[in-house]
Amino acid sequence: MFKKILVATDGSAPSRRAIKRAVQLAKEQRARLTGFYVGPPWQPAAYAEFVPPASLSPKQHEASVKKAATRYLGVVKKAAAAARVPCKTFYVMAEFPYTEIIKAAKRNRCDLIVMGSHGRRGISRLLLGSQASKVLAHSTVPVLVIR
């Protein structure tokens, strides 16, 4: 049924559960797995006098995101290798993760997106938003949300 599965991760516990389920599905379906991470873009401070001395330069920020991506996507690679599931991984830096997740699924011709959800409700969901709900609302590819 599924040939290519995209699993989005942010390193959280719900993401790790989504990775586990995505690998299991990929193994059962004999599908290929794509691990994907969206890191935050570098943003300059609005006013130079408010920049703390420990602020990251654009290059330092990029290195930090790459380090996080390597760590988070390493979990995907390790789980896929243990299950003998073909896997590739990549990451981007962007302001809106949900749009990048949808683009990545289309670009890689994935027929399923698997992602975790923190399960926030009420005011915290309103204030913090939900990438999973935004992917669900805008994706033309089926989405499996793991809590």
pLDDT of residue 140: 97
pTM over 0.75: yes
What Å distances lie between residue 35 and 43, 67, 113, CA to CA? 25, 15, 10
Average pLDDT over residues 20-39: 98
36, 101 in Cβ contact below 8 A? yes
| Position 26 in a domain | yes
pLDDT of residue 52: 61
Residue 84 vs residue 122, higher pLDDT: 84
Average pLDDT over residues 61-71: 96
- What confidence category does residue 37 fall into, taking pLDDT thresholds of 50, 70 and 90? very high
Which residue range(s) make up the domain with 100?
Answer: 1-44+52-111
pLDDT of residue 7: 98
Per the prediction, the chain carries an average pLDDT of 90
- Model confidence pLDDT, tens digit, residues 116-129: 987 655 554 444 45
| Position 134 in a domain | no
User: 58-64, long-range: CB within 8 Å, 24+ apart, which pairs?
Assistant: 62/93
**For residue 71, what is the domain's CATH number?**
3.40.50.620
| Position 128 in a domain | no
**What distance in Å separates the CA atoms of residue 147 and residue 15, rounded to the nearest whole number?**
9
Check whether 63 has a pLDDT greater than 90: yes
Give the up-direction half-sphere exposure of residue 24: CA atoms within 13 A in the CB hemisphere. Answer: 9
Structure-block tokens of residue 122: 């009420």
Percentage of residues in the chain having pLDDT higher than 70: 86
Average pLDDT over residues 74-96: 98
| Position 94 in a domain | yes
| Position 82 in a domain | yes
Task: Tell how strand 112-116 and strand 4-9 pair up.
Answer: parallel
What Å distances lie between residue 137 and 32, 50, 51, 130, CA to CA? 25, 38, 37, 11
Check whether 75 has a pLDDT greater than 60: yes
| Position 59 in a domain | yes
Total domains present in the chain: 1
Check whether 9 has a pLDDT greater than 90: yes
| Position 25 in a domain | yes
| Position 11 in a domain | yes
